[in-house]
Amino acid sequence: MTVNTDLTAVLDRAAAGGRITPEEALELYRSAPLHALGAAADTVRRRRYAGTEHIATYIIERNINYTNACVTACKFCAFYVPPKSDKVWIRSLDDILRRCAETVELGGTQIMFQGGHHPDFGVEYYEEHFAAIKKEFPQLVIHSLGASEVDHMARISGVTPEEAIRRIHAAGLDSFAGAGAELLPERPRKAIAPLKESGERWLEIMEIAHTLGVESTSTMLMGTGETNAERIEHLRMIRDVQDRTGGFRAFIPYTYQPQNNVLKGRTQATIFEYLRMIAVARLFLDNVAHIQGSWLTVGKEAGQLSLHYGADDLGSVMLEENVVSSAGAKHRSNRMELIDLIRKAGRVPAQRATTYEHLVVHDDPANDPVDDRVVSHLSSTAIEGGTAHPGLKIVEAS
């Protein structure tokens, strides 16, 4: 197949709303001038959000990691330990509920409940925990897990993924976080996560979830040795499922962190590769509503820049996070700083819900929040007592 090498024509067509092919996307990713690529992607964003194109969003959430025991042993992961290790820990339900109470106290609206693939945790474990969270904190959205966890829990419990999804959804799961996508094409996936399900299986389970009314996000881990073509193939695989289901709310690329894992940083993605991916994703994923910048892994300045390359969301003030922090992600922020970052990027900040409705639009700096306890990405596993905010009075769960 002959690829259209007239990049200007391809960019103009994409900016006008035309669909581009994977071959064209690869050419743009490899060769399009950076500023022209970003301008085309920003044009698409502005058109999609006409009327609110001046706004960029963020969310307040907490990632509660329930265990570090995992059987998949992914080579890029610095968080997991083997299930028989003396370093295994499992959070009690009371501990989890205290963390949920803390999240509500700090204005958080969403819980990401994520951890290792524990060999004893089947569907029943997640049913119990989601039901308990929803009973105590019905206002919290449980945006958690991903197809990998579903595949694992279904196998442990001897049920189909469809039954597993139905049961955890009934217990309280609201949507999937898109975890475990990593790289979907076969070669890079086997290289970094040989014990995980295939990329096709990951997408199959997500498609089942979408048909059952459980939406999700989609993600990409960049910088573990994959080729440019494999990155674009990852996008192609997501777009094909989205054409059938419409269930992916957002696409979130993030970069591999090199510390404390088997890969040891032998390959990494540059900031320019990351920005190009944000832009190409906005042009190629014409059926996915939102593109999120990942300031945690690429830094605050690159996060700001992503808002000019097609991203409409700057992720979260995540009150607790241990997984990528374990691999060396050291960028930290707070709600006031994130609002300032968005504003200095020329956009009006807005706190959003899981489903992207605007909860609070910060259109007047005089009315900005001043609570300095709303701090992002503190790792709790290294803190005595296991709370990310030792100074905050914990609201006891009933």
CA 309 to chain CA centroid, Å, is: 18
Share above pLDDT 90 across residues of the chain, in percent, rounded to a whole number: 65
**C-alpha–C-alpha distance, residues 17 and 13, integer Å:** 6
Q: Which residue has the higher pLDDT, 98 or 331?
A: 98
pLDDT at 334: 79
Domain range annotation of the chain: 31-376
The residues with which 252 forms a beta bridge, in sequence order, are 219
- With b for 16 or more beta-carbon neighbours within 10 A and e for fewer, the 263-284 pattern comes to beeeeebeeebbbbbbbbbbbb
pLDDT in tens, 308-332: 999 999 988 877 655 444 443 444 5
pLDDT at 326: 42
Q: Which residue has the higher pLDDT, 333 or 305?
A: 305
- Tell whether 182 is in a known binding site: yes
Q: What is the 3-state secondary structure (H, E, C) of 199-216?
A: HHHHHHHHHHHHHCCCCE
Name residues whose C-beta falls within 8 Å of residue 139's C-beta, 6 or more positions apart in sequence. Answer: 104, 109
- Tell whether 198 is in a known binding site: no
User: Average model confidence (pLDDT) for the chain?
Assistant: 87
Reference 223, options 281, 271, 284; nearest CA is 271
N-terminal to C-terminal alpha carbon distance within the chain: 64
> CATH for 31-376?
3.20.20.70
pLDDT in tens, 210-255: 999 999 999 999 988 899 999 999 999 999 999 999 999 999 998 8
**C-alpha–C-alpha distance, residues 284 and 294, integer Å:** 19
Residues 175, 215 contacting (CB under 8 angstroms) = yes
pLDDT in tens, 148-167: 999 999 999 999 999 999 99
Average pLDDT in the 202-209 region?
98
Task: State the pLDDT confidence band at 344, using cuts at 50, 70 and 90.
Answer: very high
Using CB atoms within 10 A of its CB, is residue 24 exposed (0-12), middle (13-18) or buried (19+)?
A: buried
pLDDT in tens, 284-302: 999 999 999 988 778 888 8
Over 50: is that where the pLDDT of 49 sits?
Answer: yes
- Tell whether 100 is in a known binding site: no
Task: State the pLDDT confidence band at 333, using cuts at 50, 70 and 90.
Answer: low
pLDDT at 376: 60
pTM exceeds 0.75, yes or no: yes
Task: State the pLDDT confidence band at 5, using cuts at 50, 70 and 90.
Answer: low
pLDDT at 386: 39
